[in-house]
Amino acid sequence: MCFSRKTTSRFTTMQGPQPATAPGMPYGSPQQVPGTYQGAGNYGFQAQPMGVPGGFVVPPVQNQPTMDRAFWMPIPPSIPNCPPGLEYLTQIDQVLIHQHLELLEIVTGLEVNNKYELKNALGQRVYFAAEDTDCLTRNCCGPSRPFTIRITDNLGHEVITLQRPLRCSMCCCPCCLQELEVQAPPGKTIGYVVQNWHVCLPKFTIQDEKRMDILKITGPCVVCRCCEDVNFEVKSVDETCTVGKISKQWTGLVQEMFTDTDNFGISFPMDLDVKMKAVMIGACFLIDFMFFEHYN
């Protein structure tokens, strides 16, 4: 079953009272995000509401102390046939990705390893991601550089590894299309993100560990837009049904011009296989490097 839902490109603000504090949790911490998991081996998806109507959710802050705003999502119970550390993804249908602002890049113009926070719709931090490449590769290869991104959970355990090989980013050369391998746990491949050649549209295919096509991603014809969000639609394999979205937020003229710090939102069906959710997160990072990573 597929679904379609009119969304806005802007994240909307969640209304209503702040969630109550659960026993044993820090002051001001909301309870675990509701949701059920319908099987780690199920690649199908059903019509599920994604957050609130109108798009992504911006977490409320409501005068909380600064130290309480960046809290971790509670550790979910272990789930059979689910890669360790991906249990968090069984309970969410949105991931908000915030790249850290690096002052060294702004001052010196040298590219440093990117760092990201991954949060749920309530603002709870789910994962932390950090690029692991050497200085020479970053500054000589630029956005086309090969990279390894290590994603850790709230205990500091590496649960997802993203690996991108060095390939020339020439749209006129189909033999050099981009590819990203997703491992969870590290060393065990669970899927791939493969760029598809198209004359004008950025297109990708999400594959499982056996190289079977699971989902398609299609971006706008002109990716570098100004003063608005850029949306990449996630569709079924036959591209007849939209099942999610990867959205790059417009962060303001100054930040867009003088930094490469980006914010993204990812939405997917709640019952989508957690492995494919992890691969969609990998697709977001690949899209960031290909279209929005630039020198200051």
Each residue of 277-288: pLDDT tens digit?
Answer: 999 999 999 999
| pLDDT for residue 26 is more than 60 | no
| pLDDT for residue 174 is more than 60 | yes
Which tokens is 105 given? Answer: 């890049």
For the chain, give the longest Cα–Cα distance: 58
285 φ, ψ to 5°? Answer: -65, -40
- Section 113-122 average pLDDT: 92
Element (H, E) at 106: helix 103-108
> In 3D, which of 290, 185, 208 has the Cα closest to residue 246?
290
Structural domain count of the chain: 1
Is 290:248 a contact under the CB 8 Å cutoff? no
Say if 38 falls within a structural domain: no
**More confident of the two residues 291 and 87:** 87
Confidence at residue 169, expressed as pLDDT on a 0 to 100 scale? 57
**More confident of the two residues 45 and 214:** 214
Q: What is residue 175's DSSP assignment? A: G
Say if 42 falls within a structural domain: no
Angle among Cα 221, 264, 152 to the nearest 5 degrees reads 135
Confidence at residue 200, expressed as pLDDT on a 0 to 100 scale? 81
| pLDDT tier for residue 92 given thresholds of 50, 70 and 90 | very high
Most confident of 101-105, 215-219, 252-256: 215-219
Say if 45 falls within a structural domain: no
| pLDDT for residue 61 is more than 50 | no
Say if 52 falls within a structural domain: no
| pLDDT for residue 115 is more than 50 | yes
Say if 123 falls within a structural domain: yes
Say if 107 falls within a structural domain: yes
Confidence at residue 67, expressed as pLDDT on a 0 to 100 scale? 38
Say if 102 falls within a structural domain: yes
In which domain, by residue range, is 235 found?
Answer: 82-292
> In 3D, which of 92, 80, 83 has the Cα closest to residue 118?
92
| pLDDT tier for residue 38 given thresholds of 50, 70 and 90 | very low
Confidence at residue 221, expressed as pLDDT on a 0 to 100 scale? 79
| pLDDT for residue 180 is more than 50 | yes
CATH code of the domain covering residue 279: 3.20.90
Is 151:126 a contact under the CB 8 Å cutoff? no
Say if 113 falls within a structural domain: yes
- DSSP annotation string for 85-104: TGGGGGG-SEEEEEEPP-HH
